[in-house]
């Protein structure tokens, strides 16, 4: 019980610290590429992605038609690839991220496994970039691809950029995400190695006997279920930056926490929290058990 209370307090403290960093960044940070903070425009998105999203939202769209417009990396594992951003937008976003990295602004870790990168909500990019990407484009696409995983009920997210470089993080151990669904987009730069690898769902005891390796392609995104075991091979040369969006559906996780596989016991948190919601007044929560 003491350990649980300590973990709840740690998570509350993380939320407060993150909110404080966001406030300081908003008041003191001088951006390098102001255009990336504008509301997401179609010009930032790859034509193939726009076509896929348009089809997904059209009357009569179905999975068979959608799969003709996507690359199926693995139909068995339900892993797909699609171009997401244009090269100029990737470059502009990378320049902004590097500028922020070199600033004296406080920086939170992207997650518990990565030491280098940026939390996009702290940088102020949730509202103009990630939320419209989820609501306008990813929602209809995921509703067709993953209806059984809450793909049509996505109502929150956690978005961050991770950086891999020599002398910093080089690889990522096998894990599964605190998300119903995940989008992982390679932003750049020039690198070799670092391929993603996938096993089965985390509940399967032999999930990594024959992992599937997937190379990164700049501007393109990999779509997969959050519970799919995966990791990243060691980087060989260069730098690799990836945008990762954990997509969450409270209608799914309110019944069963995806991390502990138990009914969630909730405490209030800042922002989207861990994507849980309560009945009644709108609020966001974290699961005290994970």
pLDDT for the residue 242: 98
Cα distances from 14 to residues 56, 94, 238, 240, 273, in angstroms, run 37, 26, 32, 27, 10
Per residue in 204-239, pLDDT (tens digit) is 655 566 789 999 999 999 999 999 999 999 999 999
- Encode pLDDT of 60-76 as tens digits: 999 999 999 999 999 99
The whole-chain average pLDDT of the chain stands at: 88
Q: For residue 197, what are the domain limits? A: 2-287
Provide the CATH number for the domain around residue 265: 2.60.120.620
Tally of domains in the chain: 1
pLDDT band at 249 (very low <50, low <70, confident <90, very high): very high
Which comes out higher in pLDDT, residue 201 or 185? 185
Q: How far apart are the first and last CA of the chain?
A: 13
Tokens of 279: 């009945």
Where is pLDDT greater, at 188 or 6?
Answer: 188
Q: How confident is the model at residue 281 (pLDDT cuts 50, 70, 90)?
A: very low
CA distances from 170 to 28, 164, 178, 243 (A): 31, 5, 22, 16
pTM of the model: 0.88
């Amino acid at each position: 019980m003491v350990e649980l209370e300590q973990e709840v307090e740690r998570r509350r403290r993380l939320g407060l610290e993150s909110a404080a960093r966001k406030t300081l960044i908003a008041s003191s940070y001088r951006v390098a590429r102001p255009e990336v903070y504008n509301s997401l425009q179609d010009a930032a998105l790859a034509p193939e992605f726009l076509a896929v999203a348009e089809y997904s939202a059209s009357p009569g769209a179905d999975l068979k038609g959608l799969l003709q417009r996507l690359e199926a990396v693995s139909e068995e594992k339900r892993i797909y690839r699609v171009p997401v951003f244009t090269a100029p937008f990737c470059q502009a976003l990378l320049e902004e991220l590097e500028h922020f990295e070199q600033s004296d602004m406080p920086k939170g870790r992207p997650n518990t496994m990565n030491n280098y990168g940026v939390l996009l909500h702290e940088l102020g990019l949730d509202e103009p970039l990630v939320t419209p990407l989820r609501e306008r484009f990813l929602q209809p696409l995921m509703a067709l691809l993953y209806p059984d995983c809450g793909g049509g009920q996505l109502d929150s997210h956690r978005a961050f950029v991770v950086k891999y470089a020599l002398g910093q993080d080089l690889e990522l151990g096998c894990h599964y995400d605190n998300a119903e669904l995940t989008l992982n987009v390679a932003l750049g730069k020039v690198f070799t190695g670092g391929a993603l690898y996938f096993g089965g769902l985390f509940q399967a005891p032999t999930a990594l006997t024959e992992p599937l390796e997937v190379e990164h392609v700049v501007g393109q995104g990999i779509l997969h279920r959050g519970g799919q075991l995966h990791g990243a091979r060691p980087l060989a040369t260069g730098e690799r930056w990836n945008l990762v969006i954990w997509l969450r559906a409270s209608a799914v996780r309110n019944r069963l926490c995806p991390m502990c596989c138990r009914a969630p016991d909730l405490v209030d948190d800042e922002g989207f929290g861990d994507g849980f919601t309560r009945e009644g007044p709108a609020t966001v929560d974290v699961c005290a058990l994970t």
